[in-house]
């Protein structure tokens, strides 16, 4: 079992610089520096790169002060989800433009920060923001993009917001037809040219939805449940497609754990569920070339992708630190139509 060992990197003008990331490695978001107990106040965010065996490669800190700060509520479990842009060039997540220690980072007076990590260079840019027009005292959940220059943002109660411009601060466009009744959007990603989202709402209640057709940018979009995944009370967190007919979901309520779903004839069925030990808060899922990874606040586990089974612990969060989203690094420029692109 491997443990975290933070390394410092410079933070300049809304970006942190490090080394290029290695395709096939695992990346996790880690909160706190271990010097104080976990609380609701704004916490420092660190991007950690590991080998698939759980050996730490590098740590990239997000800015913690100024207009380009990117912090997260220290004890919030339904944010900090992490995915690659579908062109394979960037890793993306959302946070709050306030300093570490801010008592209420999710306040509706604070901009939301879009963090974009360039895989080829290790540069973390936090100069893109969603302003307070659509903000409420609730979470920014996940960020998706096809090319790293435009973004879809999932929120706790404002549905999905489209931001068209990298490096700008804007209010964006609320794209769902009924964002507050079909709200509580969670993980969000672009896969195979289509935008998908998970929802924590009892209504409509399912694991994963398609959002509109393709990559919608205008208001009035509908969500359509993947056939077979409808289940009132579902509580999905992060999901990760392997192919167009296979997806892994971190689920906390119905058959909780790392779920494997497969599609045949247009219908999705749950093939397996694997439970990591301990609490399941912030259950993440990431798919590699030969392995599938599960992440919780307390650690990261893995299992075989070909034949998912018992989960093996590879990383444990030290005292007063927690994990959020996890992702596997794709090859820059390799379009993510499936994850066999290392």
Name the pTM for this structure: 0.91
Identify the pLDDT of residue 5.
40
Measured between alpha carbons, how far is 143 from 151 in angstroms, rounded to an integer? 7
Question: Which residues, 6 or more positions from 308, have their beta carbon under 8 angstroms from its beta carbon?
Answer: 258, 260, 271, 272, 274, 292
pLDDT (tens digit, 0 to 9) for every residue of the chain, 342 residues total? 344 444 334 343 455 558 999 999 999 999 998 888 888 899 999 999 999 999 999 999 999 999 999 999 988 778 899 999 999 999 999 999 999 999 999 998 999 999 999 999 999 999 999 999 876 778 899 999 999 999 999 988 788 999 999 999 999 999 988 755 456 788 999 999 999 998 877 555 567 889 999 999 999 998 888 998 877 677 888 999 999 999 999 888 778 889 999 999 999 999 988 887 666 777 889 999 999 999 998 999 999 999 998 899 999 998 999 999 999 999 988 765 544 443
Measured between alpha carbons, how far is 152 from 231 in angstroms, rounded to an integer? 25
Q: List domains and CATH numbers for the chain.
A: 2-328 (2.120.10.30)
Identify the pLDDT of residue 16.
57
Instruction: Give the residue among 328, 187, 155 at the shortest CA–CA distance from 252.
Output: 187
Measured between alpha carbons, how far is 166 from 130 in angstroms, rounded to an integer? 11
Identify the pLDDT of residue 136.
72
Q: What is the DSSP letter of 176?
A: B
Q: Can you give the C-alpha Rg of the chain in angstroms?
A: 18
Q: How do strand 284-287 and strand 267-274 relate by DSSP bridges? A: unpaired
Measured between alpha carbons, how far is 159 from 233 in angstroms, rounded to an integer? 18
Measured between alpha carbons, how far is 39 from 32 in angstroms, rounded to an integer? 10
Question: Mapping DSSP to helix (H, G, I), strand (E, B) and coil, where does residue 147 land?
Answer: coil
For residue 235, give both structure tokens: 């509580």
Measured between alpha carbons, how far is 182 from 142 in angstroms, rounded to an integer? 16
Instruction: Give the residue among 193, 88, 70 at the shortest CA–CA distance from 127.
Output: 70
Measured between alpha carbons, how far is 97 from 88 in angstroms, rounded to an integer? 26
Measured between alpha carbons, how far is 95 from 77 in angstroms, rounded to an integer? 13
């Amino acid at each position: 079992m491997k443990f975290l060992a933070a390394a410092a990197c410079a933070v300049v003008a809304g970006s942190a610089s490090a080394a290029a990331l290695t395709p096939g490695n695992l990346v996790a978001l880690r909160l706190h520096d271990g010097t104080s107990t976990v609380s609701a106040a704004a916490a420092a965010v660190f991007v950690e790169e590991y080998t698939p065996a759980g050996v730490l490669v590098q740590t990239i800190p997000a800015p913690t002060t100024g207009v380009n700060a990117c912090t997260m509520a220290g004890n919030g479990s339904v944010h900090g989800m992490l995915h690659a842009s579908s062109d394979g060039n960037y890793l993306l997540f959302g946070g709050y433009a306030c300093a570490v220690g801010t008592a209420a980072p999710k306040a509706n007076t604070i901009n939301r920060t879009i963090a974009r990590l360039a895989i080829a260079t290790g540069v973390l840019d936090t100069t893109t923001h969603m302003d307070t027009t659509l903000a409420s005292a609730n979470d920014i959940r996940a960020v998706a993009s096809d090319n790293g220059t435009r973004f879809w943002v999932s929120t706790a109660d404002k549905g999905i917001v489209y931001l068209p411009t990298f490096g700008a601060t804007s209010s964006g466009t609320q794209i769902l037809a009924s964002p507050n009744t079909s709200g509580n959007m969670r993980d969000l990603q672009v896969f195979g040219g289509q935008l998908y989202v998970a929802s924590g709402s009892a209504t409509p209640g399912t694991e994963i939805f398609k959002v509109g057709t393709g990559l919608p940018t205008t208001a009035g979009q509908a969500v359509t449940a993947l056939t077979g995944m409808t289940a009132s009370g579902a509580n999905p967190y992060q999901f990760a497609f392997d192919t167009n007919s296979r997806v892994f979901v971190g689920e906390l309520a119905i058959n909780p754990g790392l779920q494997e779903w497969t599609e045949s004839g247009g219908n999705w069925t749950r093939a397996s569920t694997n439970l990591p030990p301990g609490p399941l808060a912030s259950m993440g899922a990431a798919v590699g070339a030969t392995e599938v990874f599960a992440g919780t606040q307390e650690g990261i586990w893995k299992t075989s992708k070909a034949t998912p089974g018992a989960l093996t612990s590879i990383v444990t969060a030290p005292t007063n630190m927690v994990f959020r989203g996890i992702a596997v690094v794709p090859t820059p420029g390799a379009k993510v139509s499936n994850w066999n692109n290392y």
